[in-house]
Chain A
Amino acid sequence: MLDRVRDFLRRVRRSTTFRYLRRDIRAKIGGGIVLLVVFTAIFAGFIARHDPAAENPSDRFQGPSWKYPFGTDDKGRDIFSRVVYGARTALIIGTLLVVVEAVIGVPLGLLAGYRGGKVDNLIMRLVDAVLAMPGLIIALAFVAVFGPGLYKVVLALAITGWAGYARLIRGQTLAIKEETYIEAARAIGEKDRTIVFRYVLPNAISPLIVMITMTFPAAILLSSSMSFLGLGVQPPTPDWGYDLNAYKKFLGDPMPGPLMTILPGIVMVITIFGFNFFGDALRDAYDPRLRE
């Protein structure tokens, strides 16, 4: 029964959001790139022609060919396959990091901003302390203690990353809770929990989306930096950042050629660009005030 109310409410509420999104050119381009990357990541096994980790010493430094569309690297691995599988690594790291950071940071920010007083002080002093720490170095220390690996890299980066979300959402909450519509929500008898999640949070969604679209590519870059130092995703797992660093040694070699060696970097740039574009469009669609 209540589902029907919710259905109705959802329909009335979102009816124009996605209609708007379909018309936005940035949503089309960005969304296309995002979809492509997600598709590649999911179906990497079908798209790639070789095992990305398989080393073929006899096929080292090959130029593009039917067998190796983008050539091979110094260990005879198929660059195309590595780039395809790299999408999987990038998406997993980006998504996990955003989710972990937001799941910790957003509720704490809402709590601090809405409750105020001692709770606010406690949470925000913790946030200050965390923000004062150099993120990458803390992450490296964490990995040095607990060992490298994909999930540990995410946790290591989230240790400091959530604080940004908490601070952003707390600031938004402070501003939004003074709005008359929050007072009006109280005047119609809404519960605090409802006010926080259904009035405050949706009004803070556009900066949150911006934050997410910023963390996502940053996560890919940070994890690549860690891979470079040997403390991130471990080879043989294909990782764009790791490969880019590894391939720069033979950038000047005739085969597989400069374009092929920086291919992981190009793909990374396009992916980040796509996510940013899509994020911008999404932000505008979510916030009806930004549409005109």
Chain B
Amino acid sequence: MPEPLLKVQGLKTYFFLERGVVKAVDGVDFEMKKGEILGLVGETGCGKSVTALSILRLVQSPPGKIVEGKVIFEGEDLLKKSNEEMRKIRGTKISMIFQDPHTSLDPVFTIGYQIAEPIALHQVIEQHLMRAEEVPGKVMEMLKLVRIPDPEHRVVEYPHQFSGGMKQRAMIAMMISCNPSLLIADEPTTAVDVTIQAQILDLMRDLRQKLGTSVLLITHNLGVVAEMCDRLAVMYAGNIVEQADLKTLFEDPKHPYTSALLAAVPKVGTKKMELETIPGMVPSLITPPPGCKFHPRCPHAMDICRKEFPQMIEIDKGRLVRCHLYGGGSKK
């Protein structure tokens, strides 16, 4: 098996607040292969975004702090890098697309300027891969790549003159302009409407094909996941509770949380009038329930679930689940 592109091991990111310590990410492990699209799914507040920010070391500190773990990217632990080394990795090797395209572009600069910025910074000034004269051409090339119509005129426009979908595409252009090997997309389609959503997803798939970029797609939208991802990791209250490839997970969810999540997706063509919900509330991350964090909401909760935190078990190749239901004899 080839060396994975990204390997996150035992990552713990806590926020130290006056009310207590918020264990936003409490021991997350996963791997990503080159060119793979991994979906990270879970409810709001389960630690998806913090996981992403931790990989780039962009968690606000204070109050946030990565307390433990390793983020091994291309064979090197990012958490051991100096700030300056880390800064050079951002934008060139790992980039991130944010949720809301309306606020993630600087309103006082033109789109062209903002796309030129990372190219000039990394490719021209730091790495000397490109000459300054080539920057404008590269900007146009990026705008065409993300299918901005009429790029010659659009390049000198400001973000407020762009529609949401175009802003998100401009954002993508900015983030992939230095050919990163990993693109983290934090709910890239939440703030745009459904038709634009399809275009954005299409574009990202296309880019994977053309540039071989791996994508860590963070979302709570299972529809998006079904369309895009090769593999899935389901997160609950700061832990990954299940990992499998897309088809297996959708057809045969093992963890009760995953099953409940899938059941909550309304299905077209069924007569059922009521929407399926997961009973209970997302647990507090300051004082999570003892044992399995899902047990208060779990229909299959057993005695052991209240006492012992379940370990990740590999029940099949590449099929991981963190649940006592599959414990005991099936441990391999």
Taking Cβ atoms with an 8 Å cutoff, the residues of A that contact B are 1-5, 8-9, 12-13, 15-16, 117, 179-181, 183-191, 194, 199, 202-203, 205, 286-289
Q: In the complex the two chains form, what is the Cα distance from A181 to B105 in whole Å? A: 5
Smallest beta-carbon distance B270→chain A, Å: 38
B118 cross-chain contacts in A, Cβ below 8 A: 188-189
Residue from A2, A5, A186 whose CB has the most chain B CB atoms within 10 Å: A5
Smallest beta-carbon distance B104→chain A, Å: 4
- B156 and A288 form a contact (CB under 8 A): no
Task: Kindly list 10 other residue pairs between chains A and B, CB separation below 8 angstroms, not including A12-B113, A181-B106, A187-B175.
Answer: A1-B124, A8-B116, A8-B132, A12-B112, A13-B109, A184-B96, A188-B95, A188-B122, A188-B175, A288-B160
- A5 and B104 form a contact (CB under 8 A): no
Q: In the complex the two chains form, what is the Cα distance from A188 to B178 in whole Å? A: 9
Smallest beta-carbon distance B267→chain A, Å: 34
- B103 and A4 form a contact (CB under 8 A): no
Give the contacts of B72-117 with A (CB-CB under 8 A).
Answer: 87-92, 95-96, 98-100, 103-110, 112-113, 116-117
Smallest beta-carbon distance A40→chain B, Å: 34
Q: A2-B124, A12-B110, A205-B108 are in contact. Are A188 and B91 (CB under 8 A)?
A: yes
B112 cross-chain contacts in A, Cβ below 8 A: 12
B135 cross-chain contacts in A, Cβ below 8 A: 5, 8
- B108 and A189 form a contact (CB under 8 A): no
B16 cross-chain contacts in A, Cβ below 8 A: none
- B107 and A203 form a contact (CB under 8 A): yes
Q: A9-B113, A189-B92 are in contact. Are A184 and B104 (CB under 8 A)?
A: yes
B103 cross-chain contacts in A, Cβ below 8 A: 179-181
- B116 and A5 form a contact (CB under 8 A): yes
Q: In the complex the two chains form, what is the Cα distance from A8 to B135 in whole Å? A: 9
- Is B21 an interface residue when CB atoms closer than 8 A count as contact? no
- B108 and A12 form a contact (CB under 8 A): no
- Is B120 an interface residue when CB atoms closer than 8 A count as contact? yes
A-B pairs with beta carbons under 8 Å apart, 12 shown? A1-B132, A3-B132, A13-B109, A16-B156, A181-B104, A184-B171, A187-B95, A187-B98, A189-B90, A199-B106, A203-B106, A289-B160
- Is B131 an interface residue when CB atoms closer than 8 A count as contact? yes
- B122 and A189 form a contact (CB under 8 A): yes
- A187 and B56 form a contact (CB under 8 A): yes
Smallest beta-carbon distance A153→chain B, Å: 35
Smallest beta-carbon distance B247→chain A, Å: 32
- Is B222 an interface residue when CB atoms closer than 8 A count as contact? no
Q: In the complex the two chains form, what is the Cα distance from A184 to B97 in whole Å? A: 8
A13 cross-chain contacts in B, Cβ below 8 A: 109-110, 113
With beta carbons under 8 angstroms apart, the residue of B89, B107, B131 that contacts A189 is: B89
Residue of A nearest to B84 (CB): A191
B62 cross-chain contacts in A, Cβ below 8 A: 117
Q: In the complex the two chains form, what is the Cα distance from A49 to B14 in whole Å? A: 76
B156 cross-chain contacts in A, Cβ below 8 A: 12, 15-16
- B109 and A202 form a contact (CB under 8 A): yes
- B160 and A189 form a contact (CB under 8 A): no
A199 cross-chain contacts in B, Cβ below 8 A: 106
Q: A186-B90, A187-B56 are in contact. Are A288 and B95 (CB under 8 A)?
A: no
Q: In the complex the two chains form, what is the Cα distance from A112 to B51 in whole Å? A: 29
- Is B155 an interface residue when CB atoms closer than 8 A count as contact? yes
- Is B121 an interface residue when CB atoms closer than 8 A count as contact? yes
